């Protein structure tokens, strides 16, 4: 405990934030009762993972705070300055607690390293930052956001321009070896008090947002139908005004917005979890759709890089799975004549591959994460992941973009409405032709990360010989490249991996159910029972019955 207290005191002495200093002093004063909490905060530094830094807002090296941000910004700035001296870093931020402060600190550190820094003009979506990196020819970009994580979290995404990220990585999130090189520069920063701080940097005017909106509106055909009533929520995030402007510019009527969720609010007061995938998160926008007579429901996550869709089914509404939206968008772009490579990940539905084969189009399958999807090919025309992420205009934003995705969904829905048809009708057409590709997910949240590694070890030590009474024809272990296991039978697939952004173990399930004699209802009934059985068998193989989801 003496060693722990000494480490904490050394951190306090170098921490630039008086609030964080006081927070740690309280924990020191509360020893030994606070030992577990203090050890957790000093168990190790936050490291660059799937989406840069992400963690709880708290003092100490294992949290998001001003000291950790200064260290990260110093490492990034040194890495950039060694390769592009005097170049530009553009910085964005959302409405979470600390985001603006962290963005300002990043700008001061960047200018202190001899770089130019420019901040976006206010709380704006992540896609606007990704767009700005390309549009301004920046060397790098930083977005301060924790996306759809809980309110107590914040994060730090890093993007690179063409000179440092390459052609496919122009405006994309970092990948190896850049992430490890930047991490090494961060760890080389030993004294925060010695990090040189410069001026605040420039604040860009609203022209950068106007340029994004203009480019976003151009992803839809101006001559296609636009008659559509939409109910929308930004889930207390920063997407509302930019989405509204983009829809008006594209020729749609502005969506009806959930009033209690319209303004950015980093406490997310009306939802238990600010992620449209979570149960209950879209209840208010569905209620608005019912009272306003909407044709379509759209939701963004708090930084607006994801897009969720719900459609009317009789007197109720159904939230579409990410794979359903992903396939609808791909099919629509293919029907519009968009040629090139269509990309998705190993955990997304294999239906996209079937559509590409049918139309003789390029197909790429990558590891999870948009940093890999957008590098799926030089002629990439579209990419998606099942976690509600879609890239419909990779030459505009080389990342997932919930605003342009919403526009293309609306274009498809409006075109179908003009023909007296719906998104469900289009899904049914695809199923009748190719069979029902049904996906589901087994997601287990843990308090102790060892539970995840133990479950993966159990699976590796005893791979199932069969699933759904079919022999396992393929069992792939992607170590050491990725901690992923893929099991396949003739009619099913299971992909198991730890989450890259949350303390979760995830199993992605897929079955393919033939549609006999056009009887979709019977096929859906069989598929529903089969996917439940696959979920049960997967849980048993992982040995996770004792873990609370």
> What b/e string do you get for 283-315 counting C-beta neighbours within 10 Å, with b at 16 or more?
ebbbebbeeeebbbbbbbbbbbbbbbbbbbeee
d(CA 162, CA 140): 9
d(CA 388, CA 401): 10
Structure tokens at 115: 């770089």
Let me know if 474 is a catalytic residue. Answer: no
By the 10 Å C-beta count (0-12 exposed, 13-18 middle, 19+ buried), 391 is classed as buried
Cis preceding-peptide flag for 32 (omega within 30 of 0): yes
Instruction: Single out the catalytic residue among 20, 147, 246, 492.
Output: 147
Structure tokens at 440: 């589901």
Per DSSP, helices labelled H in 336-449 are: 351-359, 370-373, 402-418, 423-434
d(CA 348, CA 71): 36
Tokens 């730090």 belong to: 156
Q: Determine the Cα angle at 492 with ends 489 and 494, to 5°.
A: 95
Residue 395's nearest CA partner among 410, 411, 381 is 381
Residue 331's nearest CA partner among 370, 406, 323 is 323
d(CA 279, CA 549): 13
Does residue 368 come out as left (phi exceeding 0), alpha (psi in the -120 to 50 range) or beta? beta
By the 10 Å C-beta count (0-12 exposed, 13-18 middle, 19+ buried), 329 is classed as buried
| Phi, psi (rounded to 5 degrees) for 45 | -75, 155
- The answer to whether the Cα torsion of 245, 248, 250, 252 is positive or negative is positive
Catalytic residues: 147
């Amino acid at each position: 405990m003496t060693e722990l207290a000494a480490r904490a005191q050394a951190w306090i002495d170098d921490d630039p934030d008086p609030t964080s200093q006081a927070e740690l002093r309280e924990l020191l004063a509360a020893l030994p009762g606070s030992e577990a909490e203090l050890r957790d905060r000093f168990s190790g530094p936050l490291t660059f993972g799937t989406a840069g830094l992400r963690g709880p807002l708290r003092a100490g090296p294992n949290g998001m705070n001003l000291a950790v941000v200064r260290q990260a910004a110093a490492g990034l700035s040194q890495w950039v300055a060694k390769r592009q001296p005097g170049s530009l870093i553009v910085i964005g931020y959302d409405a979470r607690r600390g985001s603006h402060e962290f963005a300002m600190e990043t700008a001061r550190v960047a200018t202190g390293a001899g770089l130019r820094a420019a901040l976006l003009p206010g709380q704006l979506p992540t896609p606007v930052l990704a767009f700005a990196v390309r549009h301004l020819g920046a060397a790098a970009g930083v977005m301060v956001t924790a996306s759809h994580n809980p309110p107590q979290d914040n994060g730090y995404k890093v993007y690179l321009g063409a000179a440092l990220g390459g052609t496919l990585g122009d405006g994309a999130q970092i990948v190896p070896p850049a992430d490890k090189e930047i991490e090494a520069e961060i760890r080389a920063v030993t004294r925060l008090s010695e990090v040189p701080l410069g001026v605040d940097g420039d604040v860009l005017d609203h022209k950068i947002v106007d340029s994004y909106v203009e480019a976003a509106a151009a992803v839809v055909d101006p001559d296609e139908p636009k008659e559509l009533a939409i109910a929308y929520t930004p889930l207390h995030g920063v997407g509302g005004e930019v989405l509204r402007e983009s829809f008006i510019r594209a020729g749609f009527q502005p969506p009806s917005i959930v009033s209690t969720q319209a303004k950015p609010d980093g406490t997310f007061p009306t939802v238990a979890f600010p992620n449209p995938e979570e149960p209950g998160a879209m209840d208010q926008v569905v209620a608005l759709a019912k009272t306003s007579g909407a044709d379509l429901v759209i939701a963004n996550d708090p930084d607006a890089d994801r897009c969720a869709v719900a459609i009317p089914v009789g007197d109720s509404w159904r939230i579409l799975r990410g794979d359903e939206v992903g396939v609808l968008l791909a099919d629509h772009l293919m029907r519009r004549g968009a040629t090139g490579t269509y990309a998705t990940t190993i955990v997304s539905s294999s239906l996209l591959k079937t559509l590409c084969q049918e139309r003789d189009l390029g197909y790429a399958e990558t590891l999870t994460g948009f940093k890999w999807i957008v590098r799926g090919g030089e002629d990439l025309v579209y990419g998606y992941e099942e976690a509600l992420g879609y890239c419909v205009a990779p030459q505009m934003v080389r990342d997932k973009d919930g605003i342009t995705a919403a526009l293309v969904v609306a274009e498809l829905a409006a075109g179908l409405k003009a023909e007296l048809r719906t998104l469900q009708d289009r899904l049914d057409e695809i199923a009748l032709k190719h069979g029902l590709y049904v996906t589901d997910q087994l997601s287990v949240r843990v308090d102790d990360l060892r539970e995840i590694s133990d479950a993966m070890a159990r699976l590796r030590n005893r791979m199932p010989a069969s699933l759904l009474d079919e022999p396992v024809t393929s069992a792939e272990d992607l170590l050491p490249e990725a901690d992923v296991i893929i099991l396949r039978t003739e009619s099913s697939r299971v992909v198991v991996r730890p989450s890259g952004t949350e303390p979760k173990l995830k199993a992605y399930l897929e079955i393919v159910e033939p549609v006999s004699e056009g009887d979709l209802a019977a096929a859906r009934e069989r598929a529903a029972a089969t996917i439940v059985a696959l979920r049960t068998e997967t849980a048993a193989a992982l040995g996770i019955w004792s873990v609370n989801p």
